[in-house]
Chains A and B, each alone.
Chain A
């Protein structure tokens, strides 16, 4: 069974209060991503915030982030993700949860 999933359509249903130009998660060092064999963040993130880019490194866009913490857990051996919550009131705001 092969189904194409448009993650954008899923995230579109959610309510976000975006903190313009203040991403709460950051990649520390691009070179570390480049040398990372698994780049597990690109598979594990439930909001597809991480994508492999043309340079072989990883691009992070936090707008759709669900604040689950998974990326921090999968990257702990490399310690290449600086993970924080958004400022109070910002980020995902679940209507139902």
Chain B
């Protein structure tokens, strides 16, 4: 006899964990399947974790959640060839009892979350890849097939939380293949280092942390960003660009990462650290316009698989957790009302998403991906011109300031016409309005 569950959740990343936990907590009979050796084994994150969404799901998560450092300072740097210009925001107010953002090590968080699901009564099976969705004659999804012997399992609803590749939805025809301009490839390394060096170099004490978001010459004119985050005993460094740009370019991603590590302003920060892991993962960056069909008869899709990622703010895991929770709550409400999980009823999930920050934020930035893609000057000409301007401004060399000002303006206009500059400003403002 085929085993049957109230719900099957595919994947043990933040979206699947949020869904499975919410369902298990309400006493539903839930099965979670994960292809990795353990939860987190296949998962990559920069990683900043935003507390708000996790707190909604597990209010007292701070008691035992293995976070790294709470963030007290955010830097945004624009890198030139051998220099940078940037902003820092640091506040002691971030040293509260309930910090808002933490750096994390993905695998630690996923294991911890999975433990909570088991405690709540959810059944979890790792080392199992779901190979296919099973559908009945009407096309309704009624279960999954896995790569295990006799691996057919049925459920009232299947929640696909299988991440950016979303193979299952693609194979079933629920989604198109990712367009190269809608997805970034990021590579990152974890570098272990004496915590005292972290504190000295970044001006920190105890579990305070700094994060640096980086733009500029390091992406070689391609649309992309880099980052450097402080963990307890390690630093995370990474860089990512749109796949359409990698496809046209000639630099491999690992070379780009190495150049970043050797950049004169980055190198001193990571000097002496030991690299312990090299990872790569895609990030869905197409935004609102790339969001696929989100539900149908017997199925829903959450997290990265649903293209829920806010590239402008580097938020992904919180959208993943929120959508996982909303999918689960939809199922719980239907169960309680004795209604089936058909497409008409699961439309309530879409309604929840539309009313939440997920769709509101994605909609706000809907034109940004296109603008970045068509306006490479944001990643090529501007970093150069800006850092050169700063260099001139801060070099004391007996040239009068008025002349300097003029020269700086001239250099901007040379790179890009006045109309171009104004146009760029307008485009950016429109995109984020």
A residues adjacent to B (C-beta < 8 A): 1, 3, 5, 7, 10-11, 13-14, 17, 38, 40, 43-48, 66-70, 72-74, 76, 84-89, 91-97
Contact = CB atoms under 8 A, between A and B. Distances in A.
A94 B40 contact: yes
A77 to B, nearest CB: 9
Contacts of A88: 35, 126-129, 146-148
A66 B276 CA distance: 15
A44 B252 contact: yes
B106 to A, nearest CB: 4
B37 A93 contact: yes
Contact of B276 (A13, A43, A85, A86): A13
Given A46-B187, A74-B247, A88-B126, A96 B255 contact: no
Interface residues of B, number: 56
A10 B254 contact: yes
9 contacts: A14-B278, A17-B37, A46-B185, A68-B281, A76-B177, A89-B35, A91-B42, A94-B41, A94-B44
B258 interface: yes
Contact of B252 (A11, A43, A73, A93): A43
The DSSP consensus for interface residues of chain A is: loop
Contacts of A40: 246-247
Given A44-B243, A94-B41, A97-B107, A13 B277 contact: yes
Contacts of A72: 165, 177
Closest 9 pairs between A and B when the two form their complex, measured CB to CB:
A89-B127, A97-B106, A46-B280, A10-B278, A66-B280, A88-B128, A88-B129, A88-B127, A69-B165
Interface of B: 35-38, 40-45, 47, 105-108, 110, 126-129, 146-148, 164-165, 167, 177-178, 180, 183, 185, 187, 189-190, 234, 243, 246-247, 249-255, 258-259, 262, 275-282
A44 B247 contact: yes
Q: Which of B128, B183, B243 has the most CB of A within 10 A?
A: B243
A96 B185 contact: no
Q: Which of B40, B190, B258, B279 has the most CB of A within 10 A?
A: B279
A44 B42 contact: no
Contacts of A69: 164-165, 178, 282
Contacts of A1: 259, 262
B276 to A, nearest CB: 6
B309 to A, nearest CB: 15
A55 to B, nearest CB: 22
Contacts of B167: 84-85
Given A92-B41, A97-B42, A97-B110, 8 more contacts: A5-B254, A11-B278, A13-B276, A48-B254, A74-B247, A88-B128, A96-B108, A97-B43
Q: Which of B246, B253, B278 has the most CB of A within 10 A?
A: B278
A94 B279 contact: yes
B180 A87 contact: no
Nearest to A76: B177
A75 B255 CA distance: 21
A87 B44 contact: no
Q: Which of A43, A45, A97 has the most CB of B within 10 A?
A: A97
B178 to A, nearest CB: 5
B190 A96 contact: yes
Given A76-B177, A85-B167, A88-B147, A67 B277 contact: no
Contacts of A84: 167
Contacts of A93: 36-38, 41-42
Nearest to B34: A88
Contacts of B262: 1, 3
Contacts of B107: 94-97
Contacts of A47: 280
B279 A70 contact: no
A73 B183 contact: yes
A5 B187 contact: no
Contact of A43 (B110, B178, B190, B246): B246
A82 to B, nearest CB: 12
Contacts of A86: 35, 129
Contacts of B279: 14, 66, 94, 96-97
B9 to A, nearest CB: 15
B177 A3 contact: no
Nearest to B236: A96
B399 to A, nearest CB: 29
A96 B249 contact: no
A59 to B, nearest CB: 16
A85 B127 CA distance: 12
Nearest to A87: B147
Contacts of A85: 35, 129, 165, 167
A91 B172 CA distance: 24
A70 B282 contact: yes
A70 B247 CA distance: 10
